[in-house]
Amino acid sequence: MSVIALSWWQLGLAATLVLALAACTHFARLGLGKSLLVAAARTAIQLTLVGLVLETLFSVGSLPWVALMGVAMLLLAGREVMARQKYRLRGGWSFTVGTAAMFISAFSVTVLTLTVIIGPTPWYTPQYAIPLLGMLLGNTMTGVALALDRLTEGVWRQRQLVENRLMLGQTWIEACGDIRRDAMRSGLMPIINAMAAAGIVSLPGMMTGQILSGTAPALAVKYQILIMFTIAAGTGFGTFVAVSVASRRLFDRRERLRLDRLQPGNRG
Amino acid sequence: MAPGQIVCLSGPSGSGKSRLLRAVADLEPHGGVVRLGDRDQDSLAGHRWRQSVMMVPAETAWWFDTVGEHLHKPMPDALGALGFPDDAAEWAVSRLSSGEKQRLALIRALSRDPQALLLDEPTANLDDDTTLQVEDWLQSYIAEHQCPTLWVAHREDQIQRVAAKHFRIDGARLREQEVEQ
């Protein structure tokens, strides 16, 4: 089985569907037409560029270039985590905490999966390494961003409660324990829901892609299960690290709550 | 401050009374030196210090569902002395009035056996009769347990009733005021 090649005019047909939708929303005065078209154009341009990068990377396939790509993806993800915070840690801590958490979890889980589980030769074969890292980083990013946002906003809103608990002689861990639990939960909920609903409500995107490109469904399913498990581990550990470090940073050496270490971000 | 001594602190709002208490409780960075007996604030971990030198804020927050869960140990005598029925420990926190919260916050703090007290307007939300009741109870507790107490108060009559010393924050200075003994 081999996949049927798509040519640009065939994509053009799909694009006319989007154009038709944009026209409809324009005439219905929904005010969405422009952003829909911009987003569609961005999809086309960004994915084409990534395609070019990947083509080049696949043809070179050397470790330094794969590593460079990985680091670039990581830094972009770190920036995205920071941009999604309503309240950020001052002095670059938001970026550092998010990026470090994703590095520890997504990178190590990717390398572990490549070397121990899938085992391509060489282990950094870009065909396996880049999509795997991309899936892991994307999901870990969502988890870490949600959890950090929940944590800082929770502490900001419940300042009085946290300080009341401190006044009664509780340690900083006890005083913000509920907020940390909440943050961890909101970071892990998306992947838990995705695992619970996989195959029933939706066919996961990666599996669909593999099946479309001619992989036997049984094999595609195995890859999907592998991906789900690694995403759960990566997101979980990443969220855990991020919440632990960030919440420690919200208290100082004397276990005082230091909201002056937060600053309102641009979001919302 | 001597053991069992009540020192009242007054001053216009915004003059930094609460901040002073927060600094003594080590909830805010400060440049002063605070000692309990011969122990420096810095020689204890933050939470150990605050277990000993306990602040009761004017506005209280509650995190469990019932009153009793917030108490370190059952306090039937204290509940009775402040006019609560026996089953007050099972009350839902969401149904407490501000005056009830303020009195229960005192009990919540004292259930942890602090060695010194920092009270931020402990009777601000109470009517006159209850205020006297709380003053009596606090005074006898403080005398019995020999807790040095910093008490932020607004009303002159209260200061005259409870204080051994009275300081007024006046700009950047602390002025000692006369107290009738």
Three-class SS state of A59 = helix
Q: Do B59 and A160 touch (CB under 8 A)?
A: yes
C-alpha to C-alpha distance for B110 and B75, rounded to whole angstroms: 9
By Cβ distance, the residue of B27, B51, B52 closest to A163 is B27
CA distance from start to end of chain B? 17
pLDDT tens column, B23-61: 999 999 999 899 998 899 999 999 999 999 999 999 999
Class of domain B6-31+45-172: alpha beta
Give domain limits for chain B: 6-31+45-172
Reply yes or no on whether the pLDDT at A108 is more than 90.
Answer: yes
Three-state SS at B175: strand
How far A152 CA sits from the closest chain B CA (Å)?
18
| Closest chain B C-alpha to A51 CA, distance in angstroms | 52
* Distance separating alpha carbons of residues A263 and A85, to the nearest angstrom: 10
Residues of chain B positioned with their CB less than 8 A from the CB of A164: 57, 60-62
Instruction: Kindly identify which residue of chain A lies nearest to residue B25, measuring between CA atoms.
Output: A167
Nearest to A166 among B50, B62, B114 (CB): B50
What distance in Å separates the CA atoms of residue A188 and residue B47, rounded to the nearest whole number? 30
The tokens describing A158, both together, are 């419940």
Report how far residue B59's alpha carbon sits from residue B47's, in angstroms, rounded to the nearest whole number: 20
Cβ within 8 Å, pair B55-A167: yes
Q: Tell me: the pLDDT tens digits for B57-92?
A: 999 999 999 999 999 999 999 999 999 998 999 999
Residue whose tokens read 């002073």? B20
- The ipTM, to two decimals, is 0.93
Give the distance from CA A40 to its chain's centroid.
21
In Å, how far are A143, A238, B66, B174 from A134, measured between CA atoms?
14, 15, 47, 62
Q: In angstroms, rounded to a whole number, what is the distance separating the alpha carbons of residues A110 and B146?
A: 62
Q: Are A242 and A148 in contact, with CB atoms under 8 Å apart?
A: yes
Tell me how crowded residue A48 is: count the other CB atoms within 10 A of its CB. 10
Residues of B at the A interface, defined by Cβ within 8 angstroms:
25-29, 42, 45-48, 50-52, 54-57, 59-63, 108-109, 112, 114
Pairs of CB atoms within 8 A across A/B: 60
Residue B109: its chain A contacts at CB < 8 A?
A: 167-168
Domain extent listing, chain A: 1-60, 61-264
Distances (CA, A) of A75 to A108, A202, B18: 16, 31, 44
Q: What is the pLDDT of residues B108-143, one digit of tens each?
A: 999 999 999 999 999 998 999 999 999 999 999 999
**Chain B residue with the nearest C-alpha to that of A161:** B61
B107: nearest Cα among B95, B119, B124: B119
CA distance linking residue B104 with residue B87, whole number of Å? 13
User: Radius of gyration of chain A from Cα atoms?
Assistant: 22
pLDDT-based confidence at A268, cuts 50/70/90?
Answer: very low
pLDDT in tens, A18-67: 999 999 998 988 888 888 999 999 999 999 999 999 999 999 989 999 99
Residues of A with a Cβ under 8 Å from any B Cβ are 158, 160-161, 163-172, 178, 252-257
